[in-house]
Structure 1
Amino acid sequence: MVRAGRSTGSPLAAAREAADSDGLEHLARVGLIAYGLVHVLVAWLALQLAWGGGGESADQSGAMATLAESSFGKPLLWILAVGLIALAVWQAAEVLRWRHGWSASGKTRTTALRRSGRALVKAVIYVALAVLAIRYATGSATSSSGSQQQTTAGVFSWPAGQWLVGAAGLVLIGVGAWHVRKGFNKHFLKEIDTTDCSRGAVRLVTRLGQVGFPGKGIALAGVGALLIWAAVTFDPSKARGLDGALRTILDLPFGQILLTLVAVGIAAFGAFCFVRARYPERT
């Protein structure tokens, strides 16, 4: 994890100091493991879907439901929630860390805004997953597919809502393409410090990233495509989230094979998160 320079005397400095604490760093590592576990469970559900044994939805909701149904699931869900919240706080601290560059010029400002935006998006995702884990731990969760459709229907009622849903779909497709590109050009290696890694560890991290990022990217692009379809048809029922995207892949020619490959990719991304928790981020 990154250690920002410490200072005192202001709420901003206090927030940075709290975010740099060893306790939060360890919790953030737990959060990365939790994030990886969610992806591994989604991959398992996707494999079950591909080969006829599907039960739970093949998405984050199904992963949480799978945990909730196990004998040790609810305590584990609380641990996941705490770790994910710590990850969100860590990403919020990254926004603060790059805040000084917002008023700069040229490349420095561009870098600061890009990294701040990326950290903010990650923080929102981690908070959403933490809330989902808490809802399953307390037994108050509902179907993620139904929630996605209700949200889409609500956005349709806004001015230019149809365009907003379509734009969200395009953004997800873009994020998916970015994940695929990141896997192929191995850009993820620039984000973690592997200086002290053995050759075998570097090879493992590289292979997991090369498989994992494209697999996740394809899944995200599928979700985006369904949102665009919902926008074009003005039908919120078409917005079926990750589970719907994976089922759409299954319906394609050679769908079982394609879905299996995507599931392997998602599992590899989960394993990458496990390994990622071991290494600090580059400054």
Structure 2
Amino acid sequence: MNASALARSGRMGAERAARGSGTRGAARAGLAARGVIYLLVGALALQIAFGDNKTRQADRQGALAEIAGRPFGSVLLWALGIGLVGMALWRLSEVVFGSVGPDGRKAKKRLMALARCAFYSFVAYSVLAFAAGSGDGGGSSDEQSRDVTARVLELPAGRWIVALAGAGIVVGGIWIGGRALLRKYRDKLRLGQMSPRVRRMVDVTGVAGGVARGLVFAAAGGFAVRAAVDYEPDRAKGLDDTLRSFAETSAGPGLLACVAAGLVLFGVFSFAMARWRKV
């Protein structure tokens, strides 16, 4: 066997290993961990919508604090952090070897996987630091948004950078919601393994959850654009303030309750993805 054949055989072997049971397990653990976070954030937002728990943050930090206050909370936090490490490793394997699907090896897909890998690496680190007692879960999402916005606005062309980033988040939110409405997630699921009843449940959670998630992203991006236009970092909002802003519209707390319920459904949908997603 010549050197080229050996190299090709080595690459194929590495790719098979990357798509093996270990990677599948890491992906499913990561999706389940994501589901836990969205369930808790949605539940906290529902409590806020109905006038309870107004001091608790409806974001990742609030979700981690909620877990920490439960029996065996420390164990659950470590499990959640390890699951998110699995998510980051799965996305890293997609960067290196490509994702499932006919266009999984394209540069666009790899770049998206790289961005997700970086994001989940940060989230995993913040959760594990919180579990170890040496971190605050990444801090309040509102404080993070204001601090980052303030630092960027001080840069040359900072207003343009913040405005473009905010516009990108708005577009991303619309893209997320649009794909959910079109049920694009079905391409990634093993639908043949589901009963008709389960498929209906997945569609309800996938569409409603995806639309709610996209709406939150789009709203947060809109606040970032407004912060850039007004040159006021405090206009930027994290997840908690963005969710609370829905209650300040003419629709009142009812809109926040609907969005919060959608986030809970997205958490349930993440569990379905953990069970039936193609990896």
Structure 2 length-normalised TM = 0.88
Counterpart secondary structure, 1:277:
helix
| 2:39 matches 1:45 | no
Counterpart secondary structure, 1:260:
helix
Q: Aligned partners of 1:85, 1:189: CA distance in 2, in Å?
A: 25
> Residue 111 of structure 2 aligns to which amino acid in structure 1?
G
Counterpart secondary structure, 2:191:
coil
Match of 1:245 among 218, 242, 247: 242
Question: What corresponds to 2:74 in structure 1?
Answer: 74
Q: State the Cα RMSD in Å.
A: 2.3
Superposed displacement of residue 244, structure 1: 1.2
Superposed displacement of residue 199, structure 1: 1.2
Counterpart secondary structure, 1:82:
helix
CA contact (8 A) 1:222 1:242 kept: no
Q: Aligned partners of 1:7, 1:22: CA distance in 2, in Å?
A: 22
| 2:85 matches 1:85 | yes
Q: 1:187 to 1:24 in 2, by over 3 A?
A: closer
Superposed displacement of residue 108, structure 1: 5.9
Q: Aligned partners of 1:18, 1:238: CA distance in 2, in Å?
A: 47
| 2:182 matches 1:185 | yes
Counterpart secondary structure, 1:28:
helix
Question: What corresponds to 1:115 in structure 2?
Answer: 109
Q: Aligned partners of 1:25, 1:108: CA distance in 2, in Å?
A: 19
Q: Name whichever of 40-49 and 155-164 sits farther off.
A: 155-164
Structure 1 length-normalised TM = 0.87
Q: Could you tell me which runs of 5 or more consecutive residues in structure 1 were left unpaired when the two chains were aligned.
A: 1-5, 100-106
Superposed displacement of residue 171, structure 1: 1.1
CA contact (8 A) 1:91 1:120 kept: yes
Superposed displacement of residue 112, structure 1: 1.1
Question: What corresponds to 1:269 in structure 2?
Answer: 266
- Give % identity: 33
Superposed displacement of residue 194, structure 1: 1.2
Match of 1:233 among 226, 230, 251: 230
CA contact (8 A) 1:64 1:132 kept: no
Counterpart secondary structure, 1:208:
helix
Superposed displacement of residue 7, structure 1: 6.1
Q: C-alpha offsets along residues 58-83 of structure 1, whole Å, 9 cap, x if unaligned?
A: 11221112112223222211111111
CA contact (8 A) 2:142 2:240 kept: yes
Question: What corresponds to 1:197 in structure 2?
Answer: 194
Q: Aligned partners of 1:218, 1:108: CA distance in 2, in Å?
A: 27
Q: C-alpha offsets along residues 227-256 of structure 1, whole Å, 9 cap, x if unaligned?
A: 111111111122221111111111001221
Q: C-alpha offsets along residues 161-204 of structure 1, whole Å, 9 cap, x if unaligned?
A: 21111111111111110121112111111122212221112111
> Residue 35 of structure 2 aligns to which amino acid in structure 1?
G
Q: Name whichever of 138-147 and 71-80 sits farther off.
A: 138-147
| 2:164 matches 1:167 | yes
Question: What corresponds to 1:211 in structure 2?
Answer: 208
Q: Name whichever of 258-267 and 20-29 sits farther off.
A: 20-29
Question: What corresponds to 1:55 in structure 2?
Answer: 55
Match of 1:138 among 129, 132, 137: 132
Q: 1:7 to 1:28 in 2, by over 3 A?
A: farther
